């Protein structure tokens, strides 16, 4: 998920008895930092380009949510954050309070770092939780990478702990543990609710698809639309085509959808065999739709990651890849495209999500 939400969840885990025993507000900030640290891998592309790696353009696919998001690396992240701060505190302990237990601090930050892995696993983006032993991308499809309900739950929990601590002084420890536990339970309940709604969305999508085509259904998926689990994007793959649908699993709201025939020709097959496109297909967990057109003498293949789109029922992708062939069949260009929808101001994004939730 977004770094703010990751940091807030890390800060909440620190309130589960760790911050109270460590006795320093720094524990909350360190836990938030440890929870966000894994996302430093977004700079992999810039680093690779600096050293002359031409593959740096696809680094976000290859390396983001990779080794830094592994279950096996989270404890190492905790150590890298905890040890320097603990050594600094121990040096200052001569003139102030003693440094907290290093083991307790590492445990606090390890839980925060693991919360990052867990939260990203709950989204649809795909996370290599078993790296470096496996490059499989795990995705629970239970919550969107940005959620306008989930994040405020965590923010309210952290703020409530801060207010109680400010007003209660030394007697606030037990109260903040209770508040953090309730906030964590609510946030986990929201994710569990997302799983229930996903199952409903898949079921409704499958039933709807059967009314739209007699072709055999190969696959049905449902992804929480950016912003909330109250609105879902479903994709149905038939033998001969694709269908994308907007579904509200709560209530009997109408399903809005778009469909398109599958495209398969020599240029689509050649594009799919390219290394960069294979990386893209791996990143998209196989949810790749191809379209083909000619541009004068050129042949153009565009491939779309069907998990993410500008609107729930759109057949386009937020980040398609275009492969251009010359008239004689040579590859003359591979480029990543970006949907204009990705540049929306946050206020407009929230307004659009709310409109999608409330519209018929």
Q: What is the pLDDT of residues 189-246, one digit of tens each?
A: 999 999 999 999 999 999 999 999 999 999 999 999 988 899 999 999 999 999 999 9
- Cα distances from 348 to residues 45, 151, 174, 355, in angstroms, run 29, 18, 41, 10
Please give the full DSSP string across 128-181, using - where no structure is assigned.
-TTTTT----B---SS-SSBTTHHHHHHHHHHHHHHHHHHHGGGGHHHHHHHHH
Spatial CA neighbour of 66 closest among 32, 109, 115, 117: 117
Q: Which residues pair with 289 in a beta bridge?
A: 304
Sequence ranges of the domains in the chain: 1-129, 200-343
d(CA 212, CA 242): 11
Give the other-Cβ count within 10 Å of 255's Cβ: 20
Please give the full DSSP string across 249-261, using - where no structure is assigned.
-SS-PPPEEEEEE
Q: pLDDT tens digits, residue range 20-61? A: 888 778 899 999 999 999 999 888 767 766 766 655 557 778
The answer to pTM > 0.85 is: yes
> With contact defined as beta carbons under 8 Å apart, do 320 and 342 qualify?
no
| Least confident piece of the model among 196-200, 291-295, 342-346, 350-354 | 342-346
End-to-end CA distance of the chain: 28
For the chain, the 3-state helix, strand and coil shares in percent, each to the nearest 5, are 55, 15, 30
Please count the helices (runs of H) and the strands (runs of E) in the chain. Answer: 12, 8
Q: DSSP 3-state assignment of 243?
A: strand
């Amino acid at each position: 998920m977004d770094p703010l939400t990751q940091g807030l969840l890390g800060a909440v885990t620190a309130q589960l008895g760790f911050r109270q025993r460590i006795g320093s507000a720094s524990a909350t900030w360190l836990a938030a930092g440890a929870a966000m640290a894994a996302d430093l891998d977004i700079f992999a592309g810039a680093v690779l380009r600096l050293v002359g790696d031409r593959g740096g353009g696809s680094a976000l696919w290859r390396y983001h949510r990779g080794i830094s998001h592994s279950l096996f690396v989270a404890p190492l992240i905790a150590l890298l954050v905890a040890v320097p701060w603990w050594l600094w505190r121990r040096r200052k302990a001569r003139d102030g309070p003693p440094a907290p237990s290093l083991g307790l601090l590492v445990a606090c930050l390890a839980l925060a770092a693991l919360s990052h892995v867990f939260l990203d696993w709950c989204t649809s983006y795909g996370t290599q939780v078993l790296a470096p032993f496996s490059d499989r991308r795990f995705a629970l499809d239970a919550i969107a990478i940005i959620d306008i309900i989930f994040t405020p739950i965590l923010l309210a929990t952290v703020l409530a702990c801060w207010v109680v601590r400010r007003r209660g002084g030394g007697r606030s420890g037990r109260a903040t543990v209770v508040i953090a536990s309730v906030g964590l339970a609510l946030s986990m309940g929201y994710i569990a609710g997302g799983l229930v709604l996903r199952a409903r969305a898949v079921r409704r999508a499958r039933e709807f698809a059967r009314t739209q085509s007699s072709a055999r259904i190969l696959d049905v998926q449902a992804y929480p639309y950016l912003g909330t689990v109250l609105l879902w994007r479903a994709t149905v793959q038939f033998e001969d085509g694709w269908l994308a649908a907007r579904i509200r699993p709560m209530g009997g709201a109408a399903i809005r959808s778009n469909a398109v025939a599958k495209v398969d020709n020599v240029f689509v097959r050649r594009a799919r065999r390219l290394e960069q496109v294979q990386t893209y297909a791996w990143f998209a967990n196989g949810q790749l739709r191809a379209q083909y057109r000619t541009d004068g003498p050129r042949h153009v293949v565009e491939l779309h990651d069907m998990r993410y789109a500008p609107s729930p029922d759109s057949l386009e992708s937020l980040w398609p890849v275009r492969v251009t062939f010359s008239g004689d069949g040579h590859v003359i260009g591979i480029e990543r495209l970006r949907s204009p929808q990705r540049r929306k101001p946050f206020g407009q994004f929230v307004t659009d999500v709310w409109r999608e939730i409330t519209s018929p």
